[in-house]
Structure formats: structure tokens, C-alpha cells
Amino acid sequence: MSFASIPKNPHALRVTPHLLDYEQARAGHSWEALRADLQGLPGGGLNLAHEAVDRHAGGARANHLALRWLGKDGSVRDLTYADMARASARFANVLRSLGVAKGERVFALMGRVPELYFAALGTLKNVSVFCPLFSQFGPEPVWQRLSRGDAKVLVTTQALYEKKVAALRERLPALQFILLADAAEDLDASVLSLPKLMAAASDVFVIPPTSPEEMALLHFTSGTTGMPKGAVHVHQAALTHFATGRYVLDLHPEDIFWCTADPGWVTGTSYGIFAPFLHGVTNLVDEADFDAERWYRILQEQKVTVWYTAPTAIRRLMRIPGEPRAQHDLGALRLIHSVGEPLNPEAVVWGQRALGLPIHDNWWQTETGGIMIANYAAMDIRPGSMGKPLPGIDAAIVKRGEQGIQVITEADHEGELALRPGWPSMFRAYLHDDARYAKCFVDGWYLSGDLAKRDADGYFWFVGRADDIIKTSGHMVGPFEVESALMEHPSVAEAGVIGKPDPLIGELVKAFVVLKPGHAATDELRLELTGFARKRLGPAVAPKEIAFIESLPKTRSGKIMRRLLKARELGLPEGDLSTLEND
């Protein structure tokens, strides 16, 4: 099935988009020219935190609202660019006073509180490496990452320290300092009160010379397909954050931007911290977790103009009966973006109907550091498509063969999604795993591990992760296609599809379906769904088995863990579960 193309979103055109003509923008793009829009350090080099805050603090936007923090308890904290520059300078001075050097790792394990943002920027000012961890990780995943990432400093809270870290101390000999963001007093010689240290530190910090190739961030992947990998990013990534803030998020000076991702995932740093700050706009941070009513209220009351969220959240909103616009004024919204998983066409269309705006899907990975393929404000949307490559990015559909990499030029052919290496936010290493890193690059291409196709007009369509592809009766089936078809049925909230070994047809397509409230899991409905899917997909691709399930196993970043559905179905070992959402 295919959905009609959605013409340019008129709300997105309320301000003139930066990218008005895709082909022209591609032809005119140069990373060097873009670099001229950043400032660089006075002594040479490029530092992400300088560009994100100090540059504005030293100029006309010093008093512009940089961070509006919404506390769980209803409190609000506003910080200007000047405030952010001072607070991050204090944090950098704290690190310096503790002897933390260039390249050494500073981890954060905390919720979305202002100190997390001071720590991120302050660490970069000190040219140390920032590694944010999702605060809901249990002790074992925390230990795994701290030890694999060579943590020297950990910034956390008293409660998280006691619950998750205290018992690990002996197993973390390299961890020298733990800074507690909410402790009035030091606990011992190495577990220190951050407020005390911050109060004693100067709010002026001169950033040392920073090579653009200096390591800045360490991000662990989501663990959807296996053990999370540590992707290394450098200060030069600022160029991609800035470019995508311009071309994709389409940030303008008066925007109120809200990225719902936690900085524990790469979206929450590249877009929850850097892109909005690089553009000097107001970045909204909500401390609370997903809550539909709260989210709609935030969109309305804070007059969010550009919103970046994820398919899993959108699908949760879609389940709620009623018309959001009947209860909430979402009129300030200009653009809604989504990343992290394929965005079902049904969701794009729902956005248009229920929120008044289509949802702009974009594709990237922890490894790419920033958005690589996107639906732009001034471009028609083809629901279900990830859009077109960012200006400055060469993407292709390729096949790995005996002769090496072969680029597929015909339209609508499936293959692996590959990128030409060399974009600024490309990961520079998998930490402590050079062999795995080297394997990602073949014949001058970075191979993403995702399968996709490109249509005749240059739009890219996600097919599936290479690991999730189902081989059934000689067909290659991407689970996303089947899941999206099922989602078109009014009873279906969400679906996860796997291949189950079958002696006759190789693998049979099996779907796990979560129903919307008010629908009963009956055999009748199962039959109806089978027929419904057959009509849309044909008998070869439609699921042969459908099971109803209360909820799908997901990563904490909201991705369906099909490998776990499969392992459970087949009674196989479940593998690394450090990122499994289990509450």
C-alpha cells in the first residue's frame, strides 16, 4: 500500500525555511563555508562548548534564554546563554582543580537536570570527554560502561550513587572522583559535593586550544541488535550539529525547541544540547518522563515551535482516543521531527490529522553523530520515507559482493544503506574495538547495517536492519513493512515482526501485536488481522502467525527489540539486556 504524498506543510513555511530548494542546497553546500558561520577559538581550533555557549554569551544573544528547565514538580528554571557560559566555566574549573586532563572521561548518570547540561559543556571546555549514561540503567550496565569507557569522573546524584554506584566502587579502580550534584557535603575524599565545588570555582574559564579532531563525546549505542558499542565523536561534530539544526530542524532565532530524548542517547546530546545551542535558540528540557497530557500541555504553554521526538512516543499518543487539538492549542508548532526507528506512514498521516502537522522522519545512528537523511520543511513528504540525504552527505544503496561493494543505481532496489565517509560527525572509533570499526568501512563506503531502497525521485525508504530481515519462501521481508500494514488496522497500537525458522519456507513471518484499549484479543480478531494484512501485503509477506501481547520489548531509547521477541519465541539465550526497558 502507499499513502499519498503530503504537500509542503504550510506551518513550516510561516518562517522562510533555510533550505528552500533541495537540489540548490546540495549543490551550494560546503563544510568549509559552513565552518565560517562558527567562530573558532581565539587561539585557533574548534571547541563544541565554545560554539554552543561562549560564542553567544560573548555576543548579542548573551541574555537570550538558552535553557528552560521544567522540573517534575512543576518548578521552572531559566538560564540565559551568559548563565550557561558561567555555569559550564565553573564546572570546567572544578575538573581542572581535580586534575582531570584533556581526553579523560567524565561520565554523567543523572536525570535531565540543569547540572547535567553544565557538566556536558564544562567537560568539553576542559577538553575532556563527556559520556552521558541513562539514569535508569541498573548497576550492571552502569559498571559495564564506566569500566569499558575508562571513567575517571562520574557526576551523579546522592540517590543514584547509593543505589547503583556505591557497591561498584571496588570494581572501578580507575574511577577517581564522584561528584554528587545534590549533596551539600562531601561523603569522603573522593565522593564530593558538586555544589560546594561549583561555589568555590571561578565562573571564568579560558578554553585551551582544541583540535577539531580531539575526542569530545563517547556514546554507547542502543543495544538493539546486541552488546552496545562505544562510539567516539570529536569536536568537529559541531559542524554536523549546526548544519542539521539549519537544514533539517530549520532553527530560527526565536524558536522554542524541544527534543524529548534523554542525553543518555545520542539524540539527547546532538539535538538535546548541541544543535539548539549552536543556533542560539531556547532549548526546552523536561525532567519528567513521557506523559501524554503533560506533553500536550508543554507544547501549548511553552509555545514550542520545533519539536523533535520518536516513533515510540508518537505511537503512544496515537493510542489515546480523542482529538488533541480539541483540548490543546498547538498553534505555535511549526515542525515535528522524528527519529530512532522507522516512522510508520500511518503515524505521519495521524500527525497531519490529529496535530495539524505531518511528522518529518529522519534517519541517523549513534555512529553518524547527526541526521544524515531527512524530510525537510520545504519538501513534500512521502509517508513512510526517511527523506533525502543531507546536503554534504552522499548516501547510496549498495550490495556487498565478491568484487567488493557494488552501488545499486536502479530505483526501488533493496540493498545496504551506505555513506561516503568524511562527514564531520562521523564516529572516529568504536572504543577499544578497532577491528569492528575497520569492518564498517569497505571500498570507500561506511556501511550502516541497515537495508533501504531509493525511489526514482531520490527519496530513501527504510527496509529493516540487516539482522532483522526475514527470508521467507525466497522473499526478503523487512519487518517494518509488515508492522506498518498491521498498524493501519484500527485495533492495532503497535506490532513487532520476526522470522521464525520453518523447514518448508525458511522462515515464516510472525507478528506480535499490541491492541489499542477497548479491543479484545480474540481468535476472530486474529483472523481479521490476517486477512487485513494479506490484502495489503499479499500472502507471501503477510504474517502466517499472529500473537497478541501486552507490550513489546523495547530498548530504553524506545526501539522494538525484535531479537528479543525472536529469542523468546525460540527459547534461545536472550543476550545483552542492559538497555531493555523493564518498568
Residue ranges binding ligand ATP (CB under 6 A) = 221-226, 228-229, 339-343, 361-363, 365-366, 386, 448, 450, 462, 465, 557, 559
- Give min distance, CB of 579 to ligand ATP, in A: 8
- Give min distance, CB of 341 to ligand ATP, in A: 5
List of residues 6+ apart from 522 with CB closer than 8 A: none
CB atoms within 10 A of CB 381: 25
Residue closer to ligand ATP by CB (options 450, 481) is 450
Indicate which of Mg ion, ligand ATP, none lies near residue 386 (CB less than 5 to 8 Å, by partner kind): ligand ATP
Indicate which of ligand ATP, Mg ion, none lies near residue 164 (CB less than 5 to 8 Å, by partner kind): none
Residue closer to ligand ATP by CB (options 157, 221) is 221
Give CA–CA dist 319/315, Å, rounded: 6
Single out the residue of 305, 264, 310 nearest to residue 283, CA to CA: 305
- Give min distance, CB of 269 to ligand ATP, in A: 12
Q: Which three cell numbers stand for residue 200?
A: 568555590
| Position of minimal CB gap to Mg ion | 221
Residue closer to ligand ATP by CB (options 41, 561) is 561
Residue closer to ligand ATP by CB (options 183, 386) is 386
Give the CA dihedral 357, 581, 495, 381, nearest 10 degrees.
20
- Give min distance, CB of 559 to ligand ATP, in A: 5
- Give min distance, CB of 323 to Mg ion, in A: 37
**Is 171:181 a contact under the CB 8 Å cutoff?**
no
Indicate which of ligand ATP, Mg ion, none lies near residue 346 (CB less than 5 to 8 Å, by partner kind): none
- Give min distance, CB of 311 to ligand ATP, in A: 8
- Give min distance, CB of 33 to ligand ATP, in A: 28
Give CA–CA dist 459/379, Å, rounded: 11
Give CA–CA dist 241/217, Å, rounded: 13
- Give min distance, CB of 102 to ligand ATP, in A: 27
Q: How far apart are the first and last CA of the chain?
A: 35
Give CA–CA dist 359/494, Å, rounded: 18
Indicate which of Mg ion, ligand ATP, none lies near residue 228 (CB less than 5 to 8 Å, by partner kind): ligand ATP
Residue closer to ligand ATP by CB (options 70, 463) is 463
Residue closer to Mg ion by CB (options 436, 535) is 436
Indicate which of ligand ATP, Mg ion, none lies near residue 279 (CB less than 5 to 8 Å, by partner kind): none
Sheet containing 191-193, strands listed edge to edge, beginning at the edge strand earlier in sequence: 191-193, 177-180, 151-156, 105-109, 129-133, 215-220, 230-234, 429-430
Residue closer to Mg ion by CB (options 293, 433) is 433
φ, ψ (nearest 5 deg) of residue 357: -140, 140
The amino acid at residue 350 is W
**Is 81:276 a contact under the CB 8 Å cutoff?**
no
- Give min distance, CB of 20 to Mg ion, in A: 33
- Give min distance, CB of 373 to ligand ATP, in A: 8
Residue closer to ligand ATP by CB (options 99, 138) is 138
| Interface positions with Mg ion (CB under 5 A) | 221
- Our CA angle for 120, 194, 68, nearest 5°, is 50
Indicate which of Mg ion, ligand ATP, none lies near residue 7 (CB less than 5 to 8 Å, by partner kind): none
Q: Which three cell numbers stand for residue 289?
A: 518522563
**Is 381:348 a contact under the CB 8 Å cutoff?**
yes
Q: How far is CA 263 from CA 77, 107, 114, 120, 255, in A?
A: 18, 12, 12, 10, 21
Indicate which of ligand ATP, Mg ion, none lies near residue 368 (CB less than 5 to 8 Å, by partner kind): none
List of residues 6+ apart from 58 with CB closer than 8 A: 85
Indicate which of ligand ATP, Mg ion, none lies near residue 462 (CB less than 5 to 8 Å, by partner kind): ligand ATP
Residue closer to Mg ion by CB (options 221, 344) is 221
Indicate which of Mg ion, ligand ATP, none lies near residue 479 (CB less than 5 to 8 Å, by partner kind): none
Counts for the chain of helices (H) and strands (E), in that order: 20, 28
Indicate which of Mg ion, ligand ATP, none lies near residue 344 (CB less than 5 to 8 Å, by partner kind): none
Residue located via cell numbers 518448508:
504
Residue closer to ligand ATP by CB (options 387, 392) is 387
- Give min distance, CB of 361 to ligand ATP, in A: 5
Residue closer to Mg ion by CB (options 350, 430) is 430
Give CA–CA dist 407/401, Å, rounded: 10
Q: For residue 570, what is the enclosing H or E element?
A: helix 562-570
Residue closer to ligand ATP by CB (options 346, 361) is 361
Q: Per residue in 416-440, is it b (16+ CB within 10 Å) or e — as a string?
A: bbbbeeebbbbbbbbbeeeeebeeb
List of residues 6+ apart from 268 with CB closer than 8 A: 132, 259, 261, 262
Residue closer to ligand ATP by CB (options 62, 466) is 466
The amino acid at residue 14 is R
Taking each helix axis from N to C end, the angle separating 479-487 and 523-537, rounded to the nearest 10 degrees, works out to 120
Q: Per residue in 240-260, is it b (16+ CB within 10 Å) or e — as a string?
A: bbbbbbbbbbbbbeebbbbbb
Indicate which of ligand ATP, Mg ion, none lies near residue 128 (CB less than 5 to 8 Å, by partner kind): none
Residue closer to Mg ion by CB (options 115, 367) is 367
- Give min distance, CB of 89 to Mg ion, in A: 35
- Give min distance, CB of 374 to ligand ATP, in A: 9
Indicate which of Mg ion, ligand ATP, none lies near residue 47 (CB less than 5 to 8 Å, by partner kind): none
- Give min distance, CB of 228 to ligand ATP, in A: 5
